Amino acid sequence: MQENIILAQLSDKARQAEEKNKIEATDFLDMYQVHLAKNFIAKNCIDNVVLYGGYEDSERKVAVFYPKDSFDNLDESQILQIVRIELPKEEQGKFTHRNYLGGIIKIGIKREKVGDIIVADDRADIIVKKETANALAQQLSGLNRFQNSKISIKEIKDLRKPEIKLEKIDIIVPSLRLDSIVSDLARTSRSKAVEILAQERVFINGQNETKPSKSVKIGDVITIRGKGRFVIKEIKGNTRSGRSILSIDKYV
């Protein structure tokens, strides 16, 4: 059902951009929805679209469709802004991503209206579409948790980008089955990996996956709750016994 809704929205935005001859953007898509969007774009050979979330490695993105004759004038940065919350000194270091997201949900803003939330000890940068920025800033200022904070609207170029740290590791697996890869990444037994899958703790490209025999592909992003996030980069080769040597990027 979710897939059909997202694909219909993408199709509608693509059509509207062409018929109205103006830029059209979806709400924010999560990691799995971005994966669906990429497949939709490739399948339909659409070249007048950009997936943009404010910075290169953003997890949540909007799909920006533009008239085919206006590509040279496209500036995706004009679509998004930042709502910045700067904490008073006595509250710095106390708030997590969950605190900020909880505040957004409490005031009734739907998750799809908000992109990534970049958290530092002294502030949070909340990425939103321009049409949402003013309302979000005003409503957040009414929450008790932010009553002593400075809340302002900034341009996306002012974003304090998060520092992405990756550790390159190699694993050796008997097959590209998900249970086999989860077993190695989580450093546990194959039977325990199956339990982790059954507990709905494993996601491929943002979609929950419980099937042990699911085949993993190069480029897939695997998230194991409690263990971390991993990107399957390449198959480096095979051992004499036929096991695959995989190169992995691990988020640290």
**Mean of pLDDT values over 200-224:** 95
Rounded Cα–Cα distance for residues 77 and 60 (Å): 15
Q: Could you say which of 3.10.290.10, 1.10.3720.10, 3.20.20.70, 3.60.20.10 is the CATH number of the domain covering 166-251?
A: 3.10.290.10
Determine the average pLDDT of the residues in 114-139: 96
Pick the CATH number of 2-74 from 3.30.2030, 3.30.1370, 1.10.287, 2.30.30: 3.30.1370
CB-CB contact of 31 with 221 (8 Å): yes
User: Band of the pLDDT at 1, cuts 50, 70, 90?
Assistant: low
Q: Check pLDDT > 60 for residue 71.
A: no
pLDDT of residue 73: 63
pLDDT-derived band at 161 (thresholds 50, 70, 90) equals: confident
Q: Read out DSSP for 4-65? A: HHHHHHHHHHHHHHHHHTS-EE---B-HHHHHHHHHHHHHTT--SEEEE-SSTT-SSBEEEE
pLDDT of 2 over the 80 cut: no
Percent of the chain with pLDDT over 90: 84
User: Is it the case that residue 75 has pLDDT exceeding 80?
Assistant: no
| Domain coordinates in residue numbering, the chain | 2-74, 80-158, 166-251
> pTM of the prediction?
0.84
Look up the CATH superfamily of 80-158.
Answer: RRM (RNA recognition motif) domain (3.30.70.330)
List of E strands, 150-211: 150-155, 166-173, 202-204, 207-208
CB 10 within 8 A of CB 63: yes
Residue 38: per-residue pLDDT:
93
Q: Which two tokens stand for residue 69?
A: 């004759």
Alpha helices in 162-227 (DSSP H): 178-185, 190-198
